[in-house]
Structure formats: C-alpha cells, structure tokens
C-alpha cells in the first residue's frame, strides 16, 4: 500500500526538499550578515550568485521551495478537509504539475542571463 | 474487547501525520506551528524568490538595492517574519527527522539540544543584521548610533 506509491515519494521529496532549503537558509543568513560590513565586502561576496554554476543552484532552490510549498498545502488539505485523504494521490500529481508550471517561467528569468539575455533589462554574469 | 488508542501522532498510509489529540503539549504546538507557519511561508518565501530572482536579476540585488529596500520599514518587517518562520519551521523539521533516525534517547536529547542552540544563534544573527542595517554605516557604527553615541 505504502512502499513505492505516491505517498512514499511525496513524503520523501517533502523531507529532502525541506532539508535542502534549511541548509540554504543557514548559509543565506551568514552571507547576508556581510551587509553589515559595507558595500565593498557585500557586493564582492554576493557576486558569486551571478555566476552560472550558482544560478543552477538557485534553480534547484526555487524548484525545492515550490514543491515543498505546494506539497505542504496538499498535506494541510489531507489534514483538514474531511474527504482530503481520498484524493491524496491525485493531489500529489496536481502538486507536481503546478510546481513545474511555476518553475518554468521563473527558471527562464534565472537562466536567460547565462545566454546573454536580460529579461529584466539589466543583469550581469560576472561579479561586479 | 477494548480498543487500544495509540499515543502520539499516527502515520497514515499516505505519509501524513494525524492531528495530535491530548498527549504532549509541545508536539501539539509543533503540529500546529508547521501548518500555520507553512501557509504564511508559501506566500513569504515565493514572493521573496520572485523579488530576488525574477523581477530583479540576482546580479542586481547589490548593497544599494538592499539599502533602498530597507529605507522602507515594511520590508524589514517582512524579512524578520520570513527569517523567523522559515528558521523555526526548518529546524523543527530537522528535529522531527532526528527523532525518526536517532534511536538512542541520550543522543536524541544531545542532538535536539544542539539544534536549539543553532536555532537561537542563527535567529539572533539574522535579526541583528536586519535590525541594525544602516546605509553607509558598518554594523559597529550602526549599533553605536542606536545606543546614542
């Protein structure tokens, strides 16, 4: 019933994405601390986020946050909507589709600068 | 025949934990905190990602961008709320993971105590950064000016 079914995958993905987001959050709290040391140090340090390999890490983070957010709503619906448990596997597939639909346009904005396209008007691929 | 009611959260076949009833008050609080902070974080975190990666490219989110943003107290409050809810939601999640995989009670208590110290340390570090940020001042100058020097 459980092993190998959608419930197991949603549980595992929820856990793995949650831990990955937490790891990024702890790093992010430390990197943002550098803003208290002035523009030179801060801009030098966060310039790393403009590089293409770190843009790919950002993509993974965005995908993880979107999945974790939408699957979290699914868990809440299972908990609070009396008939929710009957639709848990359908809701899992809805979560996957909505995650992909939100991810693709966001990914375009993050990845386009790698190919020299700036959808926002200005962007850079190298630390300033 | 009496039906024995299982204590603590029950894992269902589809992986959700049922709503705790009675039992440990902290676990009941934790269960509700995950859901309430989770709903808030859906909006706070996704809007944060859109602002920092979509409406502005990440390469433009430099010192001046943050300084302009923090001229408005709304965004400091927004970031304080995001920091607080995300950090405690995430570390409480890691606590649950540790409960699942560490079978020795002694180690579990040690690890969860460590997580508590990490939670408070990172929370204070983040709060300090958001509250003391002052354009064109480093953190020491900013703290001194807040103290009236």
In A38-57, the residues whose Cβ lies within 8 Å of chain B are 38-39, 42-43, 46-47, 49-50, 55
Mean pLDDT of B70-94: 97
pLDDT confidence band for A49 (50 / 70 / 90): very high
Over residues B53-75, the pLDDT tens digits come to 999 999 999 999 999 999 999 99
A1 pLDDT above the threshold of 50: no
pLDDT given at position A4: 60
DSSP annotation of B23 reads: S
Chain A nearest-CA residue for B136: A38
pLDDT given at position B140: 87
Positive or negative torsion for Cα A74, A78, A79, A82: positive
Distance of residue A99 Cα from the nearest chain B Cα, in angstroms: 12
Chain B nearest-CA residue for A21: B90
Chain A nearest-CA residue for B50: A106
pLDDT given at position A87: 80
Over residues A82-103, the pLDDT tens digits come to 887 878 888 999 999 999 999 9
Interchain proximity B60–A123, CB inside 8 Å: yes
Helices (H), B22-138: 25-49, 63-70, 73-101, 105-132
Distance of residue B23 Cα from the nearest chain A Cα, in angstroms: 18
pLDDT given at position B12: 59
Q: What is the pTM of this model?
A: 0.89
């Amino acid at each position: 019933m459980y092993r190998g079914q959608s419930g197991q995958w949603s549980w595992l993905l929820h856990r793995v994405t949650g831990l990955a987001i937490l790891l990024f959050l702890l790093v992010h709290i430390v990197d943002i601390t550098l803003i208290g040391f002035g523009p030179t140090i801060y801009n030098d340090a966060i310039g790393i986020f403009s590089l293409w390999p770190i843009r790919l890490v950002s993509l993974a983070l965005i995908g993880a946050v979107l999945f974790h957010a939408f699957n979290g709503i699914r868990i809440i619906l299972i908990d609070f909507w009396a008939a929710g448990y009957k639709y848990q596997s359908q809701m899992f597939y809805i979560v996957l589709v909505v995650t992909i639909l939100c991810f693709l346009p966001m990914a375009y904005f993050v990845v386009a600068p790698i190919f020299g396209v700036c959808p926002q008007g200005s962007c850079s691929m190298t630390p300033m | 025949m009496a039906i024995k009611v299982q204590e603590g959260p029950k894992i269902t076949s589809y992986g959700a934990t049922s709503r705790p009833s009675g039992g440990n008050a902290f676990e009941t609080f934790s269960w509700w905190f995950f859901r309430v902070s989770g709903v808030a974080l859906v909006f706070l975190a996704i809007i944060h990602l859109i602002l920092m990666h979509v409406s502005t490219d990440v390469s433009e989110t430099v010192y001046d961008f943050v300084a302009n943003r923090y001229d408005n107290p709304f965004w400091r409050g927004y970031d304080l709320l995001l920091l607080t809810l995300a950090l405690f939601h995430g570390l409480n999640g890691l606590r649950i993971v540790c409960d699942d995989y560490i079978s020795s009670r002694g180690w579990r208590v040690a690890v969860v105590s460590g997580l508590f110290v990490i939670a408070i340390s990172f929370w204070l570090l983040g709060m300090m950064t958001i509250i003391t940020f002052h354009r064109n001042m480093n953190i020491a100058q900013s703290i001194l000016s807040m103290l009236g020097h």
